[in-house]
Each structure stands twice: as C-alpha cells, then as structure tokens.
A and B are shown apart, each in its own frame.
Chain A
Amino acid sequence: MSSQTGISKTEPLIRTVKRAELSKNRIFLLRIVALVLAIVAGGLFLLCIGYNPFQVYGTIIYGAFRSGMAIQATVKIMIPLLITSLGVALAFKMQFWNIGAEGQIIMGAIFATYFALFHADWPHWLLLAVMFLAGMAGGGLWALLPAVFKVKFNTNETLFTLMLNYIALNLIVFFRDGPWADPQSGGFPKIATFDANAQLNKVFGVQAGWIIGLVLVVVVYIYLRYTKQGYEISVVGISKPTARYAGMNVKKIVLRTMFASGAICGIAGMVQAAGSDATLATGVAGGVGFTAIIVAWLGQLNPVSILVVTALFSILEKGSSVVESSMGLSADCSDVLQGIILFFVLGCEFFIRYRFVTRKKGGANK
C-alpha cells in the first residue's frame, strides 16, 4: 500500500502478512509444539530455582491420579470449570466479551441457595430441580443486564460484566453477614450448611455435577453446530451487519445468547454450592469464572476441546497441591504453568494465521 504513495522507500525490515489457511494437521501440530515449548519453559523456570523439573511434573501427574480419592478430587475441580467454560464459550462465539462469569456463577448459587435454606423440606428431586432452575435464572438474569445495556446503549460489555462480578461477590458477603447468617456458627461468619435433602447426590463418589457437565458438553455441541440458533450466534459473531442483512434480529440473538451463557454459568454456581461446598461460601466462584475464559479460548470454543483442556487444567491444579505438600513448592505453580501454557498458545495462534516476511523476501514477491 505504502509503495503506491511513493513515500516509503524503506519497507520495514520485518513485516507481517496473513498466510493461506493451514491444514488441520499443521494447525494441530503447531499447537502441540506450543504446548511442549510451554512445558519446557516452565521446566527451565523450575530448574532456575533449583528443582528438578521432571520430578515436579511427575509429581503433578502422579498426584492427580495416585488414588481413587485423588481422581475424585481432580474431577471435583473439573466440574464448575467445565460448565462455566461452556457458558462463556456461547457468548464468546458471538464475540460478546462476557468477563462476568464469576458474577453469574455467584448469582446462580445465591438463587439456588435461597431454596436450599428455606425450602429444605420439599421432596428431594423437586427441590433439586427448582434449585437447578433457580441457578439458571440467577446467572441468566445477571448476564442479561449487561446485554440489555449493550443492545440499547452500546455500553461496553467487557467493563460492565467485570464490575458486576464484584457487586455479586459482595452480595454474598451481605447475605452471609446479614439475613442468611448461620445462628449456630458461634459468631464465625458463614451461611448454614445445606440440609442433606438439598445437597446433590453422589455418583461414583463424586457429586453428580459431573453428569450435568458431560450432558452440557453434548447439548452445547449440538446447539452450536446443528441448530438454527447456534448458526445465528456464529453469524452475529463474525459480522453483525451480515446478520442484519440476512434478516436476523441481532438484538434478540444477543439477549438470548447472553441469557443462555449466564444461565449455564449459574448452573455451575448451583452445582458448586449444592454439590461440593454444601453451603454458599464467598469462594463459590473462586476465580473459576476467569480461568474458564482461558479454558474456553484454549479449547477454541469447541465443547469437546474444552472438556480436554478442563481436564488438563484440573490435573495441573490437583497435582500442584500435591507438589506443595510433598515437595515444599507452592501450589501456585499451577497458576504459573497455566499462564505460561496460554502465553505460548496465544503466541502460536499468530503463526497459524500470519507469518513474518523479511524485507528481501517481501520484495521478491512483488
């Protein structure tokens, strides 16, 4: 472009151009290379502080699978992360930056907790069904709020959903310290433990949330790939004007998809509260909403890949806690490794879509 104006004689030494689409195998290979490089980089970091990286990595994998109980714990970490990642994937597919999963998890948990605390005498399955629906409603409505402002006033959704996270977090604190305070806790700020009747059943020793998660993988996969609504989401994500031109009601699609996205995150909140915590704790979301965004991105918004990435991250997290107890290294090493992996994969995405051209080679192309 610049050569047309005749100003710029010196082309940049290195410039970036889009590359022709790579084959699926090449892309897959590139991502594997990125993952390996990330593991090597993490290993170098461990080596620098005087630890044997093979031993640390070995302990992580061994720690996540060393016993039936360890595997159950790993799956337990997976459940909310998987469900939330599926939720944010819906919004991301539409290029709607829902950073508010954390808040939507919390609102889902709060809505579900209301029934767990005050209607614990209902029949077990009815109660769980109502809690499930309440969780969906809580998360969905909380996500609908920024969506409404987005379509009406074009309010920036990234920043708005981010703010809503902390408003929701403090709502839990409000309920914990005020109306829902546990009178039997002896002054310790907490919400009462759920009645056994309001807790999710265990299946194979792990709360039943894992079944919900797997079902959602299939549902979201079919929804995105084979339904009209799923198709509309991708069209809106690629180009709103195109969607409008094709006669789609973009506003309606945005609102509907955000409600669905938040509702799925709300399910994660309900499952975490009723299945794992058996109470509503301030850490019910505990950063899962943020990690889920990374997982969804790494999984290319594909539900099946998301399942794989969730498993990988959960193994890292569970394994790192074993590294802490057995090797005296902080469990935070899972966060560091997750970060490094994503940095490398984000970098590798570039080489899938673009390539660098040096001055000489670029000149020869003309």
Chain B
Amino acid sequence: MNIINFLVAAVLAGTPLLFGTIGEILHERVGHLNLGVEGMMSIGACSGFMVGYMTDNFWIAMLAAFAGGAFGALIYAVLTVTFMANQNVTGLTLTIFGIGLANFIGFYMLGKSETGTLKLPEQITAQMRGAKIPGLGSIPVLGDLLFSYNPFVYLGIILAIILSIYLFRTKTGLNVRSIGENPAAADAAGIKVTKWKYINMIIGGGICGIGGAYTIMITNGGVWITNCVGGLGWIAVALVIFANWKPVYAIYGSFVFGAFRILKYYVPKSFPIPNAFYDMLPFLVTAVVLVVNSIREKKENAQPESCGVNYFREER
C-alpha cells in the first residue's frame, strides 16, 4: 500500500517540525518572534545526542535535549526580555551560535572517538524505534497508520494538545495570550509579564530542543552528522504562520509540511515537476498564507499584536 507508506512517512517527516512549531508558538504567544528555532533545535540535538552517547540512558538524553533547547531560549529571553535587545538580531545570532556550537562540539567529540564516528548505543536506539502498539497495532491499515510510530510522535501530539488546552482553556493561558497582544494592558491587570515570558520561552525552547534530538536520533538513526537540523527550524517558523499560532493546527500543519518534504520521493518520476519545486512548497504556501491573511485583515488569523516589540514597563 503505497499511500499508507506515504502517510506514515509524512508523519515521521513532520514530527520534528511539530516540536519546533509548538515551541515557537509559545514564544510568539508572549510577543517574542524568536528566529533562533534552528539554533535551539541544534543545541538540543547536540546536548541530547552527546548526553545519550555518554550515559546510555534514553530519558536522561531527552532531558538533556530539553535542557539544551531551554538554554538557548534562556539566552534569548535574558537578552530580549531583561535587556530589551532587538528580537530579530538576537534570534538570528542564536541560530548562528546554536548551529556553530552543535557542529563545534560534534567535531570535537568526533576527534576524540576511536572509530571516527559517533553512534548512539543500541539500548537507546531500540527504545526509539517505531513499534506497533500491542493489540491496536495489528488492526489492518489503521494499525500502521495510527499506532506504529516511535514515541516522539505521540509525545509531540500530546504536547500540542496539552499546550492548546493551556493556551485556550485555562485562565493562565488567557493571561499569557494577553501578554502577547498587549503587555502594557496585561501588566496593568496585574499579570506578571516578565515571569510568564520567561516561563513560556524556556519551555518553548526546550520543546524545540526535543525536536532537534529527533532529527539526529530518528531521522539519522542515532549517528552524528554536522548540520543535523538542516533548515527544519526555518520551516518551523513558517509553520507557525500556517498553523495560525494555534498548537492543534500545528499538528495538521506539520504533517502537511512533512508530506511536502517527502512528496518528491513518492510522485512518479514521469511527472514533469522539478525537485526544487517540492522543497520550495512549504515556503511558497506559507508566503501565500501570510499575504492572504494580511489582505483579509482578520485579527484572529494574525500574529500576536506585540510580537517583535519589546516591552519596557516605564515607557509612557
């Protein structure tokens, strides 16, 4: 069944995007456009991989991936929230720094390894392999389509749903969203703007970090390569727009974009569309969505109002 293979592959290709996207949504919902997703994912990939390599423990590796991404977000938060530095410049720097740091440490560790390669031990990779859930997995078609993935996929979906409930069904979430729309009003209403900005951004960065770990642990089968994130962070920034800044839409969106990523391997060769077009598709679609939303001027389909502007409490 070719179509089933395609859908499964789309989900697998979309999962790292899902993590990056919901992480970035948390940033943008508190008014910070973080262009450092690629960097946070890279740091997360590196710390997750290296800690896994040294401790042989899957869960500690996951924790390290989260901590790595959160560390990147912390740098960003300190600079943009406390020091009110320009968000675009800080985010871009975080990307360059993060990719550089990951490659630097990877190169350093490669130099120390005796075999000249870095590979995660079998006991970790075994835990991450896609496995059929007992019982449910043996249902024909549906079993393959819904219950045969690696744990990251389910974790990503669950996280997206939790974040959606948090943002749209709790009072805290309402407060957090109001910070993104109008921090001065939120502050006047007694919401601790700085505190919630930090909390959201650090958690968001950590989630991005796990997405980074996915690229190295699943996509590359646990073998270290340089530039392992390979631009997925930028697609995630695009996906936030496509997903309308809503975590649940990010689930659908990331699987659609995952499908874009692998489409070229599944479309018959006789189809006269150049490969470059498929790689362009996510960005083209996002650009169109962006333009259409701005033409329609619908408030609920727009970026949070204060996104990109730092909040200085004593500005009058």
Contacts and interface: CB of A to CB of B under 8 A. Distances in A.
A121 interface: no
B88 A293 contact: yes
B69 to A, nearest CB: 16
A66 interface: no
B275 interface: yes
Interface in A287-314: 287, 290-291, 293-294, 297
Interface string A159-180: 1101111110011011001100
Contact of B277 (A149, A174, A333, A338): A174
A174 B79 contact: no
Nearest to B86: A297
B83 to A, nearest CB: 4
Contacts of A287: 96
A160 B33 CA distance: 13
Contacts of B101: 332, 335-336, 339
A74 B185 CA distance: 51
A16 B315 CA distance: 10
B107 A170 contact: no
Contacts of A293: 88-89, 92
B53 interface: no
Residue of B100, B280, B282, B286 with most chain A CB atoms under a 10 A cut-off: B100
A70 interface: no
Nearest to A161: B287
A54 interface: no
A28 interface: no
Contact of B100 (A159, A178, A339): A339
Contact of B104 (A158, A177, A333, A342): A333
Given A156-B290, A160-B287, A174-B274, A332 B100 contact: yes
A40 interface: no
Nearest to B308: A158
A328 interface: yes
Contacts of B85: 346-347, 349-350
Contacts of A1: 314, 316
Contacts of B280: 166-167, 170-171
Given A170-B283, A333-B104, A339-B100, 18 more contacts: A15-B313, A15-B314, A160-B290, A163-B287, A164-B283, A166-B280, A173-B275, A174-B276, A291-B96, A330-B107, A336-B97, A338-B97, A339-B97, A339-B101, A342-B93, A349-B83, A350-B85, A354-B84
Interface of B: 33, 35, 75, 78-79, 82-86, 88-90, 92-101, 103-104, 106-108, 111, 231, 234, 237-238, 241, 274-277, 279-280, 282-284, 286-287, 290-291, 294-295, 297, 303, 308, 312-314, 316
Pairs of residues from A and B, 3 with the lowest C-beta to C-beta distance, nearest first: A339-B97, A335-B100, A330-B107
Interface of A: 1, 15-18, 49, 97, 99, 149, 153-156, 158-160, 162-167, 170-171, 173-174, 177-178, 287, 290-291, 293-294, 297, 328-330, 332-336, 338-340, 342-343, 346-347, 349-350, 353-354
